[in-house]
Amino acid sequence: MIGAAAPRPHPVVWFVRRFVLAPLIIGLTALLWLTLPLWLIVAAALSPFVPGKWRVLRIAWLALLYLSAESIGLLVLLGLWIASGFGARIRTPYFEGIHYDLVQGVLWVMFREAHRVLKLTIETVGPTPDAFPGHPLLVCCRHAGPGDSFTLIHMLMHDYHREPRVVLKDTLAWDPWIDVVLNRIPARFISPNPREGQDLESQIAGLAANLDDNDAFVIFPEGGNFTPERRERAIAKLTSLGLHKMAERAEQMIHVLAPRPGGVLAALDAAPEADVLLVAHTGLDHMLTMADVWRELPMDKRIIVRWWRVPRAEIPEGREARIDWLFGKWEEIDAWVEQHRVG
């Protein structure tokens, strides 16, 4: 079943994203391809002076590939909008399926090149894709390292043949292609620190309701990528709210942020038939800044992704019991990361 349309941002913000940034990216991509011989020569000339094997060329090629995929994707999205009757049928099952195929295709290209150019491999541990056929899922994922949300969505679509409904940080909506495509399939851009009066739990519940057998509702309960500073702020906030037991438990978790239970609880209530799939990963989580990513190229890294399926019958009833359950699962994830993290 089609999810409800996401709330539209402020008209000025919407105009800038659609009519300034989108054409700017398409124009920049065209310019880069027209000047390809020039910047290839410059990148090759700089490479001997930069540590790492052909580091400048690698990052330049991936940047051009992403811009090209984004530009082509934006043009395809424009064509789909016209073909749907100038948006009249854009949220029907037929066009929604085309948009999911488009997302899956772009992610397949990007991860194929990441494997080839960055020597990046992904290893999965846990239930196989056929372990839960024809059953809706609520997917709760640890958030750490560059691109982990894209990695999760790629795996859910490519390996598990799921149509994800995603809750993402609102800053990602400034990417024009992500903005347009995720506003045409069930998704929500939210702020981890909402303004007063914003009922984010109702938005999340609306997105998690009426899941089909091949749907997967995806949420990152930590609200942002792990950093030591965010961990300290999360503990301090729990303490300031008088939640001392939760703060003590959060202090014992070294590699994850204390989960924010509101969105998870809303999703559990909205999808009572869905099992929960917990996801943790390690391999890139030590990269906290763009400087870290640059220093690691070529990465030659292995990402280990661990999946845990929790049948619905094992999830307790009641708000307090479910919060305690969620903290307990995050403590298990923290222990797993400790055992498998990169030194």
Instruction: Please compute the mean of the pLDDT values over residues 279-289 and round it to a whole number.
Output: 82
pLDDT of the residue at 308: 93
Backbone phi, then psi, for 194, in 5-degree steps? -70, 155
Residue 226 has pLDDT above 80, yes or no: yes
**Above 80 in pLDDT, residue 296?**
no
Alpha carbon 70 to chain centroid, angstroms: 17
Domain ranges of the chain: 11-340
- pLDDT over 60 at 2, yes or no: no
Q: Using alpha carbons only, what angle is made at residue 338 by residues 334 and 342, rounded to the nearest 5 degrees?
A: 125
pTM of the entire predicted model: 0.89
* Cα distance between residue 25 and residue 35, in whole Å: 15
**Helices 22-34 and 55-83, axial angle in degrees (round to 10):** 130
Give yes or no for residue 300 having a pLDDT over 90.
no
Question: Whole-angstrom Cα distance, residue 331 to residue 153?
Answer: 24
Pick the CATH number of 11-340 from 1.10.10, 3.30.365, 3.40.50, 3.40.1130: 3.40.1130
Mean pLDDT of the region 34-38: 93
Is 10 or 182 the better-scoring residue by pLDDT? 182
- For 74, residues 6+ apart whose C-beta sits below 8 A from its C-beta are 22, 25, 26, 176, 177, 180
Measured between alpha carbons, how far is 136 from 54 in angstroms, rounded to an integer? 44
pLDDT digits (tens, 9 = 90+) for 64-100: 999 999 999 999 999 999 999 999 999 999 999 999 9
pLDDT value of residue 223: 87
pLDDT at 193: 67
